[in-house]
């Protein structure tokens, strides 16, 4: 049986009036296709284990963190209007061309969940695209994002995107090498009974995160009146993808270990794009006090706490007193 297939390219031609933006998203999609191959063949090509280098966050890089960064960077550079790149793996902002010649800013996490690489679990890439602000400051505002997305490298490779109106998911067809629209309207239900958190951080959580989780695990007789399930993949892309498919809430709250840094996850290339996706899908994304998209970015690798997913859960978290 032949099915009507909408490819990524056909979708973009229909939805995006700016041909240079179509070109950029297409190039990012091809970068993700290449990264999915590098991830799949890592053990065959000796790309597992650690590299000898440390990234701006003090993490030991893996060979694939670096390869993925190269692939992403090279692909974005080929777009004539991309002017600024901000990557998890590179300390400084990259100014590709003067602002008169290009106005796109791409912030990206080339490989998310790298601790899962050697154990063959899902990893991904995250990106946010914006236009340079009038004052030409290279750090974008969350509300200025014009496109956000992620790729997940799991049993299938998917590209999930939003241009601000809907969240859509494309599955990579390995035969034709096309991204095919398989999830035309991804939504996050307002309620859930599934949360995602790294429980081993419990001794370091602030009082509010401790209280929230205590209530979730108290079961039907506790304050929440229902039994919650818990999942943690340790790859933000995989944890948030699950929430877009079947609902839930993701938490990387402030903890004593990360308090001095401002949180664990990075604002520009992890939290902003995922927050835009969550909001467009009908969910919420908060740092515990304010919407993540309203937080202002002062430095490229700024960190934040993240509570993201089902609207009513995010609201409940925020309503708990410290």
Q: How far is the CB of 235 from ligand AHG (least distance, A)?
A: 5
- Run of H or E including 277: helix 272-280
Contact partner, 124, from ligand AHG, Mn ion, none, Cβ < 5-8 Å per class: none
The packing angle between helices 272-280 and 236-246, to 10°, is 0
Closest residue to ligand AHG: CB criterion:
236
Nearer to Mn ion, 87 or 130 (CB): 87
Half-sphere exposure of 164 (CA within 13 A, CB side): 11
Binding residues with ligand AHG: total (CB under 6 A): 12
Tokens of 310: 């089902």
Nearer to ligand AHG, 11 or 272 (CB): 272
Q: Does 198 bind ligand AHG (CB under 6 A)?
A: yes
Half-sphere exposure of 62 (CA within 13 A, CB side): 20
Tokens of 163: 């241009």
Nearer to Mn ion, 59 or 206 (CB): 59
Q: Does 69 bind ligand AHG (CB under 6 A)?
A: no
Nearer to ligand AHG, 220 or 260 (CB): 260
Q: Which residues contact 166 (CB under 8 A, 6 or more apart)?
A: 184, 185, 186, 280
Displacement of CA 319 from its chain's centroid (Å):
25
Only segment of 29-37, 98-106, 162-170, 229-237 that touches ligand AHG (CB under 6 A): 229-237
Q: Which of residues 109-168 bind ligand AHG (CB under 6 A)?
A: 109, 112-115
Question: Is 197 strand, coil or helix?
Answer: coil
Nearer to ligand AHG, 163 or 237 (CB): 237
- Position of tokens 């706490």? 305
> Site for ligand AHG (CB under 6 A): which residue of 32, 76, 236, 274?
236
Q: Does 234 bind ligand AHG (CB under 6 A)?
A: yes
- Position of tokens 């419990």? 202
Residues at the interface with ligand AHG (CB under 6 A): 59, 88, 109, 112-115, 198, 234-236, 252
């Amino acid at each position: 049986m032949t099915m009507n297939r909408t490819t990524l390219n056909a979708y973009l031609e229909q939805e995006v009036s700016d041909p240079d933006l179509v070109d950029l998203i297409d190039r990012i999609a091809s970068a993700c296709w290449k990264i999915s191959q590098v991830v799949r063949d890592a053990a065959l090509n000796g790309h597992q284990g650690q590299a000898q280098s440390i990234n701006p966050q003090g993490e030991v890089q893996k060979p694939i963190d670096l390869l993925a960064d190269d692939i992403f960077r090279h692909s974005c550079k080929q777009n004539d209007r991309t002017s600024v790149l901000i990557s998890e793996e590179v300390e400084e902002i990259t100014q590709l061309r003067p602002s008169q010649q290009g106005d796109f800013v791409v912030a990206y996490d080339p490989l998310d969940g790298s601790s899962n690489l050697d154990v063959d679990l899902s990893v991904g890439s995250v990106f946010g695209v914006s236009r340079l602000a009038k004052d030409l400051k290279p750090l974008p505002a969350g509300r200025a994002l014009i496109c956000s997305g992620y790729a997940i490298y799991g049993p299938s490779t998917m590209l999930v995107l939003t241009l601000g109106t809907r969240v859509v998911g494309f599955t990579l067809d390995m035969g034709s090498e096309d991204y095919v629209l398989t999830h035309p309207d991804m939504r996050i239900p307002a309620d859930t009974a599934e949360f995602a958190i790294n429980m081993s951080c419990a001794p370091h959580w602030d009082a509010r995160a401790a209280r929230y989780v205590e209530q979730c695990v108290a079961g039907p007789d506790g304050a929440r009146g229902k039994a919650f399930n818990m999942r943690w993949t340790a790859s933000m892309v995989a944890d948030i993808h699950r929430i877009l498919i079947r609902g839930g809430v993701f938490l990387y709250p402030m903890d004593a270990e990360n308090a001095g840094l401002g949180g664990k996850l990075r604002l520009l290339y992890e939290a902003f794009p995922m927050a835009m996706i969550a909001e467009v899908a009908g969910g919420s994304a908060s740092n515990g006090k304010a919407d993540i998209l309203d937080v202002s970015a002062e430095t490229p690798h700024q960190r934040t706490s993240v509570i993201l997913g089902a609207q009513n859960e995010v609201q409940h978290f925020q309503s708990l007193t410290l």
